[in-house]
Chains A and B, each alone.
Chain A
Amino acid sequence: MDLSVAAISHWYGGTNALQNVSFDVKSGEVVCLIGPSGCGKSTLLGIIGGLIAPSSGEVRLRGAPPAGSLNPLTYVFQDFALLPWRTVRGNVALALEEHKLPAGELASRVGRALAMCGLSDFAEALPGQLSGGMKQRVGIARAIAVTPAVLLLDEPLSALDAQTRDLLIEDLLEIFRRESATGIWVTHNLDEALRVGDKVVVLSRRPGRLKKIVPVDIPRDQRVLPESAAEMARLHNELWSLIKAEAVMADREVADV
């Protein structure tokens, strides 16, 4: 499924959060959204998934969702948003229970999602018993169980420590590869954006405007190789030079308030 963000603007009361942002996401593509804090990245993702009504502009979907998709636009949340009273299995099954699925399909979908995320042994555990990394695996399993057309990841690794982040990013990339999933991935971490994104959408400080779309043309599995290091460093510098001035200004704006 292709997705277009078309001239989105948004105000919170008198505050202009987003100003005329447009970009396209092709099926199978992972697009990273970066920008200084408070630039409206998460607001934009909320608008894309239909959780926030934009002040103007619209988000368009084109094409058929993948076969068996129960929820085309599916989030993975920064704070996991798991129900603490449901087991891992119960959390992954939550959205599936809404649908009248053929006998056995619910269990098979849950089982497959748990297996893909390495959670099969933790199916009966409660979220409170799990580490942050495992909780986010549950969040990811819950998302892939509904066979989404576009995954919307709202800083999915930001609540995790650096080592867990490195481990989880590999697993997520593997899931993206196997599911040939389309994704919009919000982050403030440039390395993360360059590791996972096919292109990086850079937003300016508030009000968030589209600053630049930086394509990352190195295939994902080659990005960690030594021969890619120079190009990766160049891309990193390019992103950082786009972000840095904005971040400094944004920081001062907050301090002025």
Chain B
Amino acid sequence: MSSALKLVQDASQRNSTGSKDEGPEAVVRFRGGGFDPRPNAWIGWAAIIGLVAIWQLAAASGYLSPLVLPSPVQVGSALLKMAAADDFTSQVSASLSRVASGWLIGTIMGLIVGCAMGVFSIARAGALPIVSGLYPIPMIAILPLLIVWLGIGESSKTAVIVLGVFSPTVISTFSAVDNVPRGLIRMGQSFGLSWRSIVLKIILPGSLPGVLAGFRITAAIALILLVSAEMIGAEYGIGALILLAGNLMQTDRLVAGVLLLSATGLVISWLLGRLEKALLKWR
């Protein structure tokens, strides 16, 4: 503000001491601010703490019945109690091993089919209609059929995650391969690179950004399917734990289970971020 004022003064002085131009004079005001959102970790933490504080206050003052929504302190102590219980590790490891194996198998299958569709005309023409038809199906709808086929045990839960991860991985891999600039492939051909070298040195690294972006989507899908499958029929697992807590009106345990899922999602997202950083250093 003060510098702007000074400019006005300078300008008026110059005007009075010699300029022949008698017209009115103005200083150009800066008008290019805003529309430039920036991250700020402090405000982020403050917002979380503020929300929890309001929640705690509402619960403590009696506005919120513990049955509707237990206070953060109650949720915290439920979480600690759960963590101390004997079956906690088996609950969490059941969920993690289902989601990890399902995601991994679905991803590997999807990568193979997606790459084949990106490179071979026959694979593309043959698989595209099938995958396009598979893609919009909410895979949880197939779980009853999978249970008929595979029984109520682990394999039906893993299979539903495999199926749910498979078609989005195919689509993202196929389009990532397809989006590798043709010019780079022609360059490889013009330098006499073999088919194998073109695939390994140009197409695969070139499609990696798109493939990794797809991982974020499929990880979220895998988590949703995991909880759904565990709610339909499982003894152990975070989804089963949440469902049981709901049936028993133990809302503190229920919310604690949801927080556990949130933490799982955050850890997965962090791991994927690390993977992207390691593999895409060049970006």
Contacts and interface: CB of A to CB of B under 8 A. Distances in A.
Interface of A: 49-51, 70-71, 73-75, 77, 79, 81, 83-86, 94-95, 97-98, 126, 128, 142, 146
A197 B280 CA distance: 42
Given A81-B184, A98-B197, A51 B282 contact: no
A75 B185 CA distance: 13
B129 interface: no
A95 B192 contact: yes
B81 interface: no
B205 A51 contact: no
B183 A83 contact: no
Residue of B186, B194, B280 with most chain A CB atoms under a 10 A cut-off: B186
20 contacts: A51-B186, A51-B189, A51-B190, A71-B191, A71-B192, A74-B191, A75-B187, A75-B190, A77-B183, A79-B183, A81-B184, A81-B186, A83-B201, A83-B202, A84-B283, A85-B282, A94-B191, A97-B197, A98-B192, A128-B283
B83 interface: no
Nearest to A78: B183
Interface of B: 181, 183-184, 186-194, 197, 201-202, 205-206, 280, 282-283
A49 B191 contact: no
A142 B282 CA distance: 19
A83 B197 CA distance: 13
B186 to A, nearest CB: 6
> Which secondary structure dominates chain A's binding surface?
loop
A83 B190 contact: no
A98 B282 CA distance: 23
A98 B193 contact: yes
A246 to B, nearest CB: 27
Contacts of A98: 191-194, 197
B192 A83 contact: no
Given A85-B205, A94-B201, A49 B190 contact: yes
